[in-house]
Structure 1
Amino acid sequence: MNVTVKFFASVREQLGTAEERLSLPEGISTVGELRDLLVRRGGAWEEALGGNRALRMACNQAMCNETAPLESGAEIAFFPPVTGG
């Protein structure tokens, strides 16, 4: 399954990339499993996307949670929560 992963704001800055196209291995079928796969890269990936970091996620431009299913061609986005004042 091929997907496009986009990173925004501080996540993009930590990773040094705004977008990556991935061919996912068997067994990766949810947004949460994709996040875990990226975290396992270690280093900046673990810091930017690790489970202790509050992140918002979207799949095909719709907000989602970690249980959202993936499909081939999906666009997944990771970004920090937005605050305002």
Structure 2
Amino acid sequence: MNKYLPIGSVVLLNGGSKRIMIYGRKQKELNSDKVWDYIACLYPEGNLNEEYMYLFNHDQIEKVFFIGFQDEEEIEFANENLK
């Protein structure tokens, strides 16, 4: 299994009190060379603005509430691009 959760997955981060929804993977931080596993927005609010975008790594996830949509295209993309 690929270590990355699919787009649309809803998680709670360690020490967090609000769930967030993943909308991107392998994200490069602006003005830095740091690459994060995920970018997410508040759930259920969605992407409000850049103040509410959360960059984090897989090991920071405390609980997975929902695993996003997966089909053949997602699996192929993940296998080719998310190693």
TM-score (norm 1): 0.25
Structure-2-length-normalised TM-score: 0.26
Higher strand share: 2
